[in-house]
Chain A
Amino acid sequence: MKQLCDHCELPIPQGVIIEEQNKSFCCHACKTVFQFIHHSKLDEYYEIKSSLNLNEKKRAQFIVRNKHLEQIDSLGFQKRFLLNGPGKTIKFYIDGMHCFACVWLLEKLQTLSTDIMEIRVNYFEKSLTLSIAESATFIETIEVIQKLGYNLYPVASDSDLEKVKKEKQHELLSRVSVAAICAGNIMICAIAVYAGADEYWKTLLERLSGAFFIPILFYSSTPILKNAFHSLKNRRYVLDIAAAFSIILGATLSYYHLLKGSGAIYFDSLGTFVFLLIGAKYILLCSNNRAAHLDTIDYRLGSDHYFKVIENSEHGIERCKISTEDIAEGDMILLQPGDTCPVDGTVWNGESYFDNSAISGESQPIKVKAGAKISSGSKNIESEILLKCSSNAMNSSMGILLDSISKSWKQSNSITGLTETLSFFLFICVVLACLGTTSFLLWSNQSEEIFPRLLAILVIACPCALGIGTPLALGFSLKSLVQKGILVKNADVLVAASKISTIFFDKTGTLTNGSQTLTAWRGERNDSLEDIIFNLESISLHPIAQSLCMSLSEKRNIPKINFVDHLEKKGKGVSGKIGTDTWSMEKFSGTEDNGDYPNATASTLKKNGATVAVLYFRDELKPESINLISKLADLQISAGILSGDRASVVNYWAQTLGLSPGHIYSNLSPQDKSDLIKNTKRAAMVGDGINDALALKESALGIAVKGSLSASLKSGDVILLENNLFKIIELIEFSRKVLNLIRRNVIWSLIYNIGGVSLAAFGFVNPLVAAVLMPISSVFVVFNISMFFYRPTATMSALSLESSYAK
C-alpha cells in the first residue's frame, strides 16, 4: 500500500517523499500549499475535502506566476479590467479549481487581510471576483492565490459580448418559464376535462386553457416561429419549420373549435411540446454560453510600460515612459530583464539572452548581441538592452498573428449537418403526405376531414428526437465535460473530436514541461557545493539559474553565503569570492552535443578557474506523455509533433516517445504549423504557445493545454482545465459515445415520424391520439438521454482517475 500525500492525497512515488512536521508530501508544490493553508489556520479545508470524498484528486501544480499579472495594479491595466463593485473589483477566469473545497479555500482567503473586502467564486463558470479596498493593491492577494496553485486570467471589463449573451439567456429562460407555467395550468384544465367535468365546467375549463395558451403562442414559441420563418426565407430547412407549422395549425384549429364550441382542442399537448422544445434550446444555450467568458480573457502580453530613449542635443539621453500602443517604428526602447518584447526590432546595444519558446517553440534561450533581430513576443531574460523598433505593436509579427487569430473565422462543421439532411428528407415526406391526403380527401369530397388529418400529420411529424434530443444531448455533454475538467467552446467540437484520426502535439510546454531542469550532475557533489551554487546563482535572472535554485532549495533550506564582488558577467555566468577562493558558474564551453546528454545545456562550477562539476539542464517530458501516445494508438489515432524547435531536439524526443517519424516536423513557423494542419484531414492540434495559436485555430480540433498563453486559450476549441494530457483521450472517447447516442435518437425519431405520418395520412391516427403521442415520444427521448448522462458519470470519472495516474 503506497503512502498518500497529505495535500493532494495521491500515492507518493518512491524516492520523492518529503517529510515535514510528520506530514508527507508527493511534491514541493503540495508542501508549500499545505504549509500556507496550515499557517493561515485554514486546515478545515482538508476536512471538507475529505468529506466531499471526491473520486478525482489533483496534484497541486506549482505555478510560475504569470508575468502579465505583475502590472495588475498599474493604471493602464485597471483601465481595462476594473469592474463596478465595492472598492476595486476585478473578475478573473480561474483554472485549477477542481472541487468545492477550493471554493471554500478561496472565499476564506478574504479573512486573511482587511484589505480584501470580498472574494466570490462562481464555481459554475469557474470565475473569481476579487474586491479590495480602494487604497490596497491586488498583487499580494493574487500571489497568494497563485501560490495555492490556481491560475488567474483577468476578464476584461468591457466585455459587452458576455453581457449580451447573458441577457439572451435570461430572455430564453423567461420564455421557458412562461411555457412551463401556462402548460402546467392547461394540464390542470385538461385533466379536469378528461376526468369528466360536465358541460358547464368543460366549456369553462377549455376556455381557460385557451387563455393560457395565448402567452405560449405569442411569447414562448416566438423563437421557434422566427427561426422557421427566416430559414424559409433563406430556402433552408430547419427542424423548427415542422414544429412551427404544427403549432400554428394546431392553435388555429383549437381556437376555431373553442369558439365553435365543439370539436377537440390540443392546447395541452401543444403547450407541453413548446415547453420541451424551448427548454431544450435553453439548456443548449446555457452550456454554449458557459465557455463565453473565455473569449473575454485578455491576451495582450507583458508589461504595459517601456522606457523610450530620446537623443536630445541639450541634455543628452533622456528616458520617458511609453505604453505599448504608443510605440512607433524607429523608436528606441529599453527592454528590462523579464520584459516581453512588444514589437519587432534590432538590438541597438547591450547583449542578453532571449527566450523564444513562446513564439518558436525553441527550447533553449538564444544569445543576442547588437544588430540581432528580435521578434515581438520573445522575452528578455538576462540583462537590459536597447532596442530599435522596426515596427509598432500592431504590425509586429506578433500583432499580425494575434490579429489573424481574432479574424480567421472557423466555419462550423455543424452537427446539424447530419440532422438537417435527415429532417429535410422528413420535411419532403410530410409535404407530400399533406398534399396527397388533401387532394385525396378533396377528390373523395370529405373536405371536413382535411383539417384534422393535416394536423394529425404535422403534429406527429414533429421531429422531437431531432428537435429536442440533439440539442439536449449536446448541452448535457458540454456540461459533464466541464465537470471532467475539459472546457469545450461549442457543441460542434464534439463532432470533430469524435472523428479525429491524427493528433499533432506542440513539443515545448505540451509534451514537455517547457522549462530547463537539472537532469545530470557530473563531478563532485555535496551540500556545501550546492550551497555555493545556490547562492551564486541566486542573483541571476537567467531561467536556468532560476530553475536550478528552485530545485536545490526544494530539498532543504539553504544557508545564506555572502560573496565578495558577487557579479554576473553577461553571457558568461556568475562569479564571486569567498575568502581567497573565486567561485564561478559558467556556461559550458564544450562540444555542441554535450556528450551523453544530447540537447542539454550545461554549465560548469569552477573554483579558481578549475572545473569542479558540470551540471546539465534540459526540458524534460511530462510524466504522462509516454502512456498518452500508446493510449492514442489503441484508439487508432496517430500522433505527431509540430515544433519550432531544432530537428535534433525534436527527433530525440520523438524517438523517446516511440513516434513514427512520418509525423514529426521541426523548425516550423506558426504559419507553417497552421498550413500543415490545414492540409491534414481530421487532425487535432494540441499546444500552448502563441506559435501554436494559429494552428489551433485552423485545426479541425484545437486543444489548448492548461497554463497556455491566453492567445492559445482563445484560439483553441477545447481547453484542458487540468494539466493532464489524458483528458484528450477522455474527450475523444466521450464524444464518440455521445455521437452514437445522438444517432440512436435520430433513428428512433425517423422510424416514429415516418411510421406515424403514413398512419396519420390514411386517417388511422386522429389528431387527439397524435397530440398524445407527440409529448410521449419527446419525453421518451429526454428520458433516454438523461439516462445516458446520469448513469455513466461515476464510471467515467473513475476511469479518468486511474487512466491519468496509471504508471
Chain B
Amino acid sequence: MSENINQPQLETFSYDDKTVKMFSIATLVWGAVAMLVGVTAAFELASWRVNLGLEWITFGRLRPLHTNAAIFAFAGNAIFAGTYYSLQRLCKARLYSKTLSYIHFWGWQAIIVSAAVTLLSGFTTGKEYAELEWPIDIAITLIWVAFAVNFFGTLFNRREKHIYVAIWFYIATIVTVALLHIVNSLAFPVSLMKSYSIYAGAQDALIQWWYGHNAVAFFLTTPFLGLMYYFIPKAINRPIYSYRLSIVHFWSLVFIYIWAGPHHLLYTALPEWLQTLGMVFSISLWAPSWGGMINGLLTLRGAWDRVRREPVLKFLATAVTFYGMSTFEGPLLSIKSVNQLAHYTDWIVGHVHSGTIGWNYFLTAGMLFYMVPKLWNTKLYSVALGNLQFWTGTVGLLLYIISMWVAGVTQGSMWQAIDPHTGVLVYPDFVETVVRIVPMYWVRAFGGTLVLLSFLIMIYNLWQTIRNSPKEQPEQKFQALALKARDQKAHSDQGHRRLEGLPAFFTVLTVLAVVVGTAIEIIPSFMAKQFVVKNDDVKPYTPLELAGRDIYIREGCYNCHSQMIRPLVAERLRYGAPSQAAESIYDHPFQWGSRRIGPDLARVGGKYPNMWHYRHMLNPRAVTSGSIMPSYQWLFQNKSQLDILPKKLNVMKALGVPYSDEEIENAVTLAKEQAELITETLAESGVPPEMKDKQIIPLIAYLQRLGTDLGPTLLQEEEEAARK
C-alpha cells in the first residue's frame, strides 16, 4: 500500500527461541546431575562407606561439586533460559547476536564440565562457592561478558519504551555477579591448576562472605525475582499486584543486599560493630523480601482454584511461599543470639535448601512448565505427572528441612550444654553430638532422594511434551514500531535524552551501589592494620606445613571442619582460647569454614600425638568410634610433591607472607627434614620410614601446627586474668 512510503515503517521481527530451548534442556540435564550428586553426598554423611574408598567422590570433594552444580549449572542455565525468553518479549526485540548466544551456551556448558572434572580431581581454591581454579574463573568471566553484551545489545534494540521491572533485576544480576566473581576470585597462580587467594585471614573472610552472601543474593534471588515478576503475571494472565511496589522492592533489595555479608561471620574475629552492621542489614532485608513475596502472592488472589488445577501456578505459588519462608528464616538466623545456636549446624544447611529447592527449583519448574509448551507450541504432556512431581518434591523438601532443623538444634544445644554445677561440658566428646544426629542424616538423604525423583518425573514429563510436539514449527512473526521512530520527534521538542542511555545508566547505578557496599566492607579489611592486632608470635607456615595445608584444602576438609573458635564459654571449654584475627593473617585463603560436621580444628595442633592423626586418617573409627569421617587411604599411597614448594613460597612472599629468601631456596630440604622428624616419631609406633614422602606426613605437620602460635600464651593470659 502506497501510504507506507511516507510513514515510519512498522518493523517485523521474530524471537530467537532456539537458544532458549537449548538452555531449557541444559537446565533439566544439570539439575538432575546436581541433585544426584547432592543425594550421594547426603548418603555419604549418613554412612561413611558410601564413597567406596574412592578419593574423588569423598564428601570433601563432592560437596563443592554439588553446590557449584546446583548454583551455576542448574540455576545458571535456568536463569539464562528464562532471561532470554522474557527479555526478548519484554523488549519486543530478537536476541542481539546469534553467535554470542552460541558462545554463551556452549561456553557455559564447557565450564560446567571442566568444573566437574577439576573439582572431583581435587583442584580447588578452598573458597566456598568459588572453588574453581583460576583458568576456569577467567573462562567464566569471558562467557559472562558475552552474556552481558548479548543482553544489553537486545535491550538497546528494544521496541518498548518502558523497561519492565524484571529487566532491572536481570541488569542487577549481570553487573553484580561479574563484580563479585572478579573481586572474590582474585588470586595469584602457582601453576596451571593451583593458586593462592590474594586475600588472607579476616580480609579473605570478609570478601569471601560478602561474595558468598551475594552469590545467593544476586545469583539465586534477583534473577529469580525477575523471573517471578515476568512469569507469574504471564502464567495467570493478570498484571502484577502492585507494579509500584515491585520497583521499590528492586531498589531497596539492590541497596541492602550488598551490606548483608558479615552476618555469616557473627562471633568471629571481625570487629564487633561490623558484625552488628551486617546483622542490622540482614534484618532490614526482611522488609523488601516480603514486599516481593506479598506482591507475588497477591497477584494470585482470587485465582487459587487455578493454582490448584495448573502445575505452572502451583509451582510458582509454592516457590514464592518458600521464598517468603527462607527470607524470614534468614534474618532470624542473623540475629546474634539465634546465630549463636544455629551457626556451624545443619539448621543453616536446611535453611539454604529451603531456598534453593523451594524457591529456585520450584520456580524453575513453574517457568519450564509455562515456557516449554509455548516454545514447542504444544500442550503439557501430563498434568497428573506435574502434580505427582509437585507432591514428591514438596514432601521430600519438607523432610529435608525438618530433619536438618532438628539435627541443627539438637547438635547446637549439645555443643553448648554445660553442667551448671561442675561447669564442664555435658558432651565433651564431639562425636557424641554427631552420632546423635545420624538418624536425621538418613531422613535427609531420603528427603533428598524424593526431590531428585520429582525432578526426574519433570524431565520425563517435559521430554514427552517435546516429543509429542508438531514436527514443523513455523516461526511467529511480530510487528512493532521502532523506538527511534517513536522518539526522534518527541525528543526534538521536549529535549529528552535518548532512551537508549537508560539501561546503561541503571547498570552504572547498580555497579555503584555495589561499589559502595564493597567499599564499606572491603576497605576496612584492607585497612586491616587498623584493627587486626599484628602479633609477632604468629609465624608463617613451614614449607612442609604449607604443603600439608594444600592437601587439607584439596581434600575439602573445610567442608566439615571449621577453624574459628567463637568467644563463647562452651567453645572456650571445648576448643580453647577464642581465635584471633591475628592468627590467620598468613592464611591464603582463610579456612574458617562454615559448618562443623567434625570438630573445630583451630587449636588441634599438639592436642594429639602424631600417631593419633596417622591412625585417624587411615581409619577414623580406629581412634574415635562412631566417627562418620571417611578413611583417607590414598594419603598413605600417594607421594607428596615437594619440588613445587619454592614456587609456592615465592607466591606467598609476593602476597606479603614474610618468607626469607634462603627459606625459599631450601624449601624442599627444609620440608624433607621436618618430614624426617615426624616420621621418626611415628616409627616408634612401627610406621615404616618410607612413609616419610607420602602425603599424610605434610598433613600431620600442618594439623600439628594449627593454633600453636598463640594458643598457649592466650591461655596463660586468661588464667592470669582469672586470678586477678
Contact = CB atoms under 8 A, between A and B. Distances in A.
Direct A–B contact in complex, judged by CB atoms less than 8 Å apart: yes
Interface of A: 47-48, 51-53, 84-87, 100, 114-115, 117-118, 131, 133-136, 163, 184-185, 188, 191-193, 195-198, 200-201
A48 B237 contact: yes
B530 interface: yes
B1 A84 contact: no
Which 9 interchain pairs have the tightest Cβ spacing?
A195-B276, A135-B3, A195-B273, A84-B489, A133-B7, A197-B273, A53-B302, A133-B3, A86-B8
A188 B6 contact: no
Contact of A51 (B280, B303, B524, B531): B303
Nearest to B237: A51
Contacts of A131: 481
Contacts of B277: 188, 191-192, 195
B660 interface: no
Nearest to B251: A180
B490 A85 contact: yes
B2 to A, nearest CB: 8
A43 to B, nearest CB: 14
B3 A51 contact: no
B439 interface: no
Given A184-B255, A188-B520, A85 B3 contact: no
B10 interface: yes
Of B8, B272, B273, B274, chain A has the most CB atoms within 10 Å of the CB of B273
B303 to A, nearest CB: 7
Contacts of B485: 86
A53 B492 contact: no
A193 B524 CA distance: 15
B236 interface: yes
Contact of B303 (A53, A100, A135, A201): A53
B492 A84 contact: yes
Contacts of A191: 276-277, 280
Interface in B1-46: 1-4, 6-8, 10
Given A84-B489, A117-B481, 14 more contacts: A48-B237, A53-B303, A85-B489, A85-B490, A86-B8, A86-B481, A117-B7, A118-B481, A118-B486, A135-B2, A163-B494, A191-B276, A193-B273, A201-B273
B8 A192 contact: no
A164 to B, nearest CB: 12
B273 A196 contact: yes
Given A84-B489, A195-B277, A117 B10 contact: yes
Given A51-B237, A196-B273, A85 B486 contact: yes
Nearest to B482: A86
Contacts of A115: 3
A323 B631 CA distance: 101
Contacts of A133: 3-4, 6-7
Given A53-B303, A115-B3, A47 B237 contact: yes
A86 B486 contact: yes
A131 B482 CA distance: 13
B471 interface: no
B390 interface: no
Given A51-B303, A188-B520, A200-B530, A87 B273 contact: no
A798 to B, nearest CB: 13
Nearest to B161: A120
B259 A188 contact: yes
Contacts of B237: 47-48, 51
B280 A195 contact: yes
Contact of A87 (B8, B516, B520, B531): B8
Given A118-B481, A195-B272, A86 B238 contact: no
Interface residues of B, number: 36
Contacts of A201: 273, 524, 530
Contacts of B489: 84-86
Contacts of B486: 85-86, 118
Nearest to A163: B494
Contacts, number: 80
A193 B492 CA distance: 50
Interface string B660-690: 0000000000000000000000000000000
A130 to B, nearest CB: 13
B273 A114 contact: no
B7 A135 contact: yes
Contact of A100 (B4, B239, B271, B492): B239
A201 B273 CA distance: 10
22 contacts: A51-B238, A51-B303, A53-B303, A84-B490, A84-B492, A84-B493, A85-B490, A86-B7, A87-B7, A114-B1, A117-B7, A133-B6, A134-B3, A134-B7, A135-B2, A135-B7, A188-B259, A192-B273, A192-B276, A192-B277, A195-B280, A198-B531
A637 B269 CA distance: 73
Nearest to B490: A84
Nearest to A103: B239
A197 B494 CA distance: 49
Contacts of B10: 114, 117
Contact of A135 (B6, B239, B255, B272): B6
Interface in B130-182: none
Contacts of A136: 3
A134 B6 contact: yes
A135 B6 CA distance: 8
Nearest to B531: A198
A180 to B, nearest CB: 9
Contacts of B303: 51, 53
Contacts of B7: 86-87, 117, 133-135
B241 to A, nearest CB: 12
A141 to B, nearest CB: 14
Nearest to B301: A53
A201 B523 CA distance: 12
A198 B492 CA distance: 55
A52 to B, nearest CB: 6
Interface string B231-251: 000001111000000000000
Contacts of B274: 192
Interface in B263-311: 271-274, 276-277, 280, 302-303
Given A117-B8, A188-B277, A51 B236 contact: yes
Interface in B474-515: 481, 485-486, 489-490, 492-494
Given A86-B486, A192-B273, A195-B280, A52 B238 contact: yes
A373 B681 CA distance: 128
Contacts of B272: 195-196
A196 B492 contact: no
A442 to B, nearest CB: 40
Contacts of A51: 236-238, 303
A471 B548 CA distance: 69
Contacts of A118: 481, 486
A85 B489 CA distance: 6
Nearest to B485: A86
A136 B7 CA distance: 10
Most chain A Cβ neighbours within 10 Å, of B2, B259, B280 = B280
A404 to B, nearest CB: 33
A556 B280 CA distance: 72
Contacts of B236: 51
A272 B60 CA distance: 49
A419 to B, nearest CB: 27
Nearest to B7: A133
A87 B237 CA distance: 32
Contacts of B255: 184
Contacts of B520: 188
Contacts of A48: 237-238
B313 to A, nearest CB: 11
Contacts of B516: 185
A698 B531 CA distance: 73
A185 B485 CA distance: 41
A331 B303 CA distance: 66
Contacts of A188: 259, 277, 520
Contacts of B493: 84
